[in-house]
Amino acid sequence: MKKQSFTAHLLTILTAVSIVLMPAQSAFSQAAGDAPVTQGEFAKYLVRALGMEGNLPIGANTYEYINLLERQGITPPGGYEAEKPLNKKDMAYMMMKATGLENKVINRMRGKSVVRTEKAVVREIKGDVQFKRGPNSEFAAVELNDELYANDTIKTGADSSAVVQLGMYSGAFLGPNTEILIEELSVGKDSSENVRVFIKHGWFTSKVKKVDKPVNYETRTRTTVAGVMGTTYCQTSDGSADQLMACTGGIWFYLLDENGNPVGEPKVLKIKEKLITDPTGQQEPQFLLIAEDENGKIMDQGEFIQSLSSFANGDGIGQGTPSGQSTYQMRMSLSEADEDAYVAIIEVLNEAGIVIEETGAAATADSTITQAQLTQFINDLLLSDTFDFFNTDTTPF
């Protein structure tokens, strides 16, 4: 489905259900303004606001709306029930997921507020290579030394490739028919660099070397998250299988469920090992040895990356950060929506103009959202210019 501005979707749904500036009466029901909003009602609101109704059959029931959000990974931990009252904690979690602020929340939990954005630079182009700014713009041809930023996408066509320097200390080779989304590219208060890349499909080789400054470097497919330990490695995704290959050293990795939450503890993929995972979840993960020709190909790509720029190495995903948590531990905390995660979510949402709770106090997390509060929340969003920047990819998994 084509992605559109979240604000445009909000205006569409608000017009449809006529709740803009409604006095103490909600379009969801005929109850008074202090009646609680159910999780099922909010599911319908959010699906419509995200423009996802086209993925549902005509006359879909509440459970089908909820199932759609579950498939998109937007529902909160602990389950989602149609008749259960919606609380602030669940609403905050869902708004974070819907607006793509998860990476900013992880940075906040790390205790390193971003002090500046970082950039990626296209260092080599072969054939058809295109990029787009954010989720709403159209793809355009890439030129050598073009700059990319967080939320930008770059893709290669058939018989095409590109080398991209990601920040100051890492680089990547994109093989033919590859598309990646730069999820995070920033520098924190302690001068750490945060790099996160989502590999939508194709061939992606990473090269990161060691320096004194910490680099939190993380790449993922729909099934696997990998973090470097001073090595060259490769990830691929083609819809039928995801692969992770360690070439010059071990790699920390962990698996993801269908909602993007961690499964199990981080493990080390040993040198010259290959992990194969099934995006459909029908096959168990497999561990194999990398073929010599495949290993040589990845090694050559790593050397090519290094020849174009000077890079450096970052912390593995299983290593601790100054806050005492690894990136994996923070993702687990977020997937469980615990107290630390809730406070961080509220702070990041507030900074983005999405105010559900002023303080982020955990004591208010279980407070029920009323019809009047939801109406006021929506009206506040319509007055906030910042919300125009948030978009969600509604393409079904």
Residue 217, CA distances (Å) to 107, 159, 227, 265, 321 in order: 13, 28, 6, 18, 13
The arithmetic mean of pLDDT across residues 163-167, rounded, is 91
The arithmetic mean of pLDDT across residues 365-391, rounded, is 67
Residue given tokens 């090992």 in the structure block: 273
**pLDDT confidence band for 211 (50 / 70 / 90):** low
CA distance linking residue 313 with residue 208, whole number of Å: 5
Question: pLDDT at position 286, please?
Answer: 96
Per residue in 327-363, pLDDT tens?
677 778 787 778 888 888 998 888 888 888 765 555 5
Question: pLDDT at position 10, please?
Answer: 45
CA distance linking residue 310 with residue 194, whole number of Å: 17
**pLDDT confidence band for 73 (50 / 70 / 90):** confident
CA distance linking residue 216 with residue 192, whole number of Å: 7
Pick from 273, 277, 275, 255: which is nearest to 265 by CA?
255
Q: What residue type is assigned to position 17 of the chain?
A: V
The arithmetic mean of pLDDT across residues 148-156, rounded, is 93
The arithmetic mean of pLDDT across residues 226-250, rounded, is 88
CA distance linking residue 86 with residue 95, whole number of Å: 13
Question: pLDDT at position 111, please?
Answer: 61
Question: pLDDT at position 26, please?
Answer: 34
pLDDT at 300 over 90: yes
Question: pLDDT at position 386, please?
Answer: 40
Question: pLDDT at position 160, please?
Answer: 98
The arithmetic mean of pLDDT across residues 111-126, rounded, is 79
**Is the pTM for the entire model greater than 0.75?**
no
Q: Is the pLDDT higher at 180 or at 169?
A: 180
**Mean pLDDT lowest among 169-173, 178-182, 269-273:** 169-173
pLDDT at 306 over 80: yes
**pLDDT confidence band for 188 (50 / 70 / 90):** low
Residue given tokens 């100051």 in the structure block: 168
Q: Is the pLDDT higher at 226 or at 114?
A: 226
Residue 322, CA distances (Å) to 109, 183, 188, 256 in order: 11, 22, 12, 25
Pick from 240, 231, 378: which is nearest to 314 by CA?
231
Average pLDDT, the chain: 79
Per residue in 107-116, pLDDT tens?
777 665 566 6
**pLDDT confidence band for 147 (50 / 70 / 90):** very high
Q: Could you count the other beta carbons within 10 Å of the beta carbon of residue 350?
A: 16
Question: pLDDT at position 3, please?
Answer: 39
Q: Is the pLDDT higher at 356 or at 235?
A: 235
- Torsion sign over Cα 101, 103, 105, 111: negative
CA distance linking residue 72 with residue 49, whole number of Å: 14
Residue 91, CA distances (Å) to 10, 71, 76, 379, 384 in order: 16, 17, 8, 16, 18
DSSP lists the bridge partners of residue 43 as none
β-pairing verdict for 232-237 and 193-208 = antiparallel
Q: Is the pLDDT higher at 365 or at 125?
A: 125
Q: Could you count the other beta carbons within 10 Å of the beta carbon of residue 83?
A: 9
User: What beta strand segments (E) does 32-178 contain?
Assistant: 114-117, 120-126, 129-132, 140-141, 147-148, 153-156, 161-166, 170-174
Pick from 156, 151, 129: which is nearest to 142 by CA?
129
Question: pLDDT at position 134, please?
Answer: 77
**Could you tell me the domains of the chain?**
6-101+352-389 (no CATH), 111-331 (2.60.120.1440)
pLDDT at 182 over 80: yes
CA distance linking residue 66 with residue 83, whole number of Å: 11
pLDDT > 90: percent of the chain: 37
Q: What residue type is assigned to position 315 of the chain?
A: D
**Mean pLDDT lowest among 79-88, 121-130, 271-280, 316-325:** 316-325
Residue given tokens 């208010």 in the structure block: 364
Give counts: helices (H), strands (E), the chain.
Answer: 9, 18
Are 175 and 161 contacting, i.e. CB atoms less than 8 angstroms apart? yes
CA distance linking residue 296 with residue 235, whole number of Å: 15
Pick from 9, 66, 72: which is nearest to 39 by CA?
66
